[in-house]
Amino acid sequence: MKSNLKWMQLPDEYSSFDRSKFVILPISYEKDLTYGIGSAKGAMEIVKASEHLEYYDEEFDCEFFEQGIYLEEEIKLCSESPETMVEKLQEKVASFDSDKFVVSLGGDHSVTIGLVKGLEKIHGDFAVLQIDAHSDFRDSWNGSSLNHACVMRQIVDKHEIVSVGIRSQDKDERKAIDKNDKVQTIYAFKYSFDKVKEALLSLKSEKLYITIDVDGFDPSVISCTGTPEPGGLVWRQVIDLLKLCFEKKKVIGCDVVEFAPEYIETKDKKQQTSRSRAESYILARLISKIVSFEVRSA
């Protein structure tokens, strides 16, 4: 059954596929997680929260929906193998024309493997900026190399990587990253805007894909995620660094992953906790900022 949900409940004029530059792609997928669960439901909670967004962005002085924002049907992949998930997302993303800007929501971080493969077919060469608490650079995890702990390791052979906000890793990951000259890591404890700028300017590719694991944020901003880590990036830091990406590079798309909403059961219904509801809204707002950056920089 097709749902009637629309991003921000935009009228048809601003939300039909043909007239929209932006495509929101909600993904439900989680497998073999490390600690907490629930990222399968993250995308649709962000979509529902988008209903409460203002149509105007004060920072960029623009009505960012004007180029159109189309909401795809939710892609449900929880019962699929990691291999099938990667294949299906790759096909889906490769089916869009290069003038669409795809914003994928949800799932655990392994979805990025499929999304990036799909974008390779459209855009060829590009670098990847990762906002994350974890390096995600393991060779395999729980018996699979297509696991959320291995995402960047899967991507690095074809793409330069800038990782920002990292504050949790394994010794072997550290060794692998240090000897791989395609990876630049800006650890959370050494974070500065200038370091991000320097890293972006050093990239060979003009094009950039952005993957945002919500645990890159400090838990005071986003706590509903499988593995929250203290000492992360705050809202303003993330907004400023994203803005910089759009100023310095041609951003070709992005994803926001690992949001795991929390629920409480009352006698007649199950609903998000107030914290989780707030975070769904914060992430919807993050998407409207990203759309604004692209509208302003295009």
Interface residues toward Mn ion, by CB under 5 A:
109, 132, 134, 136, 213
Which of 145, 114, 149, 172 has its CA nearest to residue 35?
149
How many residues are recorded in the chain? 298
C-alpha 18, offset from chain centre: 24
Least spacing, CB of residue 131 vs Mn ion, in Å: 9
| Minimum CB distance to Mn ion smaller for 229 or for 294 | 229
Cβ 85 to Mn ion, closest distance in Å?
16
Based on C-alpha coordinates, what's the Rg of the chain? 18
What is the nearest approach in angstroms of Mn ion to the Cβ of residue 279? 17
Distances in whole angstroms, Cα of residue 230 to Cα of each of 132, 134, 189? 12, 12, 11
CB of 109 to Mn ion, least distance (A): 4
Grouping H, G, I as helix, E, B as strand and the rest as coil, residue 46 is helix
Sign of CA dihedral 171, 154, 250, 291: negative
Quote the CA–CA distance of 15 and 195 in Å, as a whole number.
38
Question: Which pair of structure tokens corresponds to residue 234?
Answer: 């705050």
Q: State which residue has the least CB distance to Mn ion.
A: 213
* Residues 10, 17: Cα–Cα separation, whole Å: 12
User: Which one-letter amino acid corresponds to residue 55?
Assistant: Y
- The distance of closest approach from Cβ of residue 157 to Mn ion in the complex, given in angstroms and rounded to an integer, is 18
CB nearer to Mn ion: give 45 or 136: 136
Pick 6 or 109: Cβ nearer Mn ion: 109
Q: With respect to Mn ion, which residue has the nearer C-beta, 134 or 249?
A: 134
Q: 157: how many CB neighbours lie within 10 A of its CB?
A: 8
Select 134 or 289, whichever has its Cβ closest to Mn ion: 134
- Distance between CA atoms of residues 297 and 290, nearest Å: 11
| 49 touches 224 (CB < 8 A) | no
Nearer Cβ to Mn ion, position 132 or 218? 132
User: Which residues are CB-contacts of 34 (< 8 A; sequence separation ≥ 6)?
Assistant: 141, 148, 149, 226, 227
Rounded to a whole number of angstroms, the minimum distance from the CB of residue 118 to Mn ion is 19
Q: Of the two residues 39 and 50, which places its CB atom closer to Mn ion in the complex?
A: 39
User: How far apart are CB 149 and Mn ion at their closest, in Å?
Assistant: 8
Name which of 69 and 131 has its Cβ closer to Mn ion: 131
CA-based nearest residue to 258, from 144, 149, 141: 149
